[in-house]
Structure 1
């Protein structure tokens, strides 16, 4: 039906016969809109909508329901399940095209705004970080010129990548992300010296690709809000652990830890103190790319572990 209503040069339509098939397709690519009949075998449109809303917000993946029933309570049920709009059957071509264009346009505008917001948030550099780094450069100019040059080189590398906006929504090789992390940690270790200990545990994972600037904000958060709140500093563990079907990337510290409310605010994307901005933003971007976000384990006074999962690519073996 939709194939005949929507012009193929403007819309690419994929049709499935059940809600289960629709859910299976969600991870295959990015979708602009889901159009579902309310009455379907095995899984209703309401149930499908609820399941999609567990992963995608109203603006991340709009849902348009088709219904032969127009009672107020039926319409209310659709909106309560998480639908953006509904169209009564039999469908009129002009009406459904208008509804589809409206929903897809809203998604595009919101997505562009999110990309700008992500670029801004990820590129923010705290003034104290800049000032302290420059002060370290000045201090080293009197005692160790080679170390000063190394610090400037790493600082330049870090800044170049921080302002690499064109890649904000792309997946990059993990080694490129780890290179940014190494530059950042070099700068911080020059500043904090023995107060900051870094342990790397990286499995071979050259094929792995992750969103730009996802590990660095976790490391920065661990140092600023965990380790350096303690007089004697502490340790940070950066791990990339390759399993059979997935890879776990984690940043763990033995710092001050987080309380339950802070963890809940980050995972539910609620506004709050500035300490959670980097984690909230990273959590949102990971969900958009992989369907799941950050896992946070923390005990006040004993440290925090922040991790995320990336499914490994399936490798086909031919004989």
Structure 2
């Protein structure tokens, strides 16, 4: 726009010079009219651009509010009364039979609560290592309750990247609540990361109960949390989330964080 304005001024000056030497008034008059029309068009164009910018600002603020609400909703959903009660009950029992392990469990419990509270005020990306520590605190508490029925395997090839807070932990919780613990013999949750050409690949897989993806079933499973994670990944680091599940075989949730979009 600046170049167009400068060009028009130089064009007008050129016609003024011609008019000075030729005294050809009609050309000078037509130039003035043309320039006036041009400036009028530019004025309306700038108004249009201003309106677009205002709309973009409004949409950005709306998205920011939605992301903040999603973070709060997820964080609150993680602090569930039954989970707190079960964790504290298990710690209480350990205080009698294994004080050393009880001390470790208290540390895990405090770390879990701290990370959830931190997520309420966190609007920026966090390190994967920080998210992984939160996951480990959560799983340590669940293993107090389920014992050998809940097995965990880590296959971490890369950890030097960033992602939204509470992007993986809710997926792990779903794997515990609706996957392995739905089987009497339990199962294994596998958390893995890999660096690929497309970007950083994160997987949360379980060999638990699974579900039929093409048949909606009222089994208490919450897909709202997954949708919130999916939306935050897309908005904050251009990440993608996909889910695959087979009834009786388990569930795999895959996150792709594209290169140069949230990875460090």
Task: Give the TM-score range, shorter chain.
Answer: 0.7 to 0.9
- Which residue number corresponds to residue 133 of structure 1? 87
- Which residue number corresponds to residue 44 of structure 2? 91
CA contact (8 A) 2:108 2:137 kept: yes
- Which residue number corresponds to residue 207 of structure 1? 160
- Which residue number corresponds to residue 277 of structure 1? 224
CA contact (8 A) 2:119 2:166 kept: no
- In structure 1, distance between residues paired with 2:201 and 2:259: 10
CA contact (8 A) 1:122 1:278 kept: no
Out of 130, 134, 158, the residue aligned to residue 176 of structure 1 is: 130
Higher relative contact order (CA 8 A, sep 6+): 2
Q: Which has the larger radius of gyration?
A: 2
- Which residue number corresponds to residue 72 of structure 2? 119
User: TM-score, structure 2 length as denominator?
Assistant: 0.74
Specify which structure has the higher proportion of helix: 2
CA contact (8 A) 1:180 1:216 kept: yes
User: TM-score, structure 1 length as denominator?
Assistant: 0.62
Shift of 1:246: 2.1
SS state at 1:116 partner: helix
- In structure 1, distance between residues paired with 2:49 and 2:260: 38
Unaligned runs of 5+ in 1: 6-87, 266-271, 315-319
- Which residue number corresponds to residue 15 of structure 1? none
Shift of 1:292: 4.0
Query: Measured at CA, do residues 118 and 3 of structure 1 come closer, stay the same or move farther in structure 2, by a change above 3 Å?
Result: farther
Report 1:210-229 matches (<5 A).
210-229=163-182
Unaligned runs of 5+ in 2: 6-40
- In structure 2, distance between residues paired with 1:243 and 1:92: 44
SS state at 2:209 partner: coil
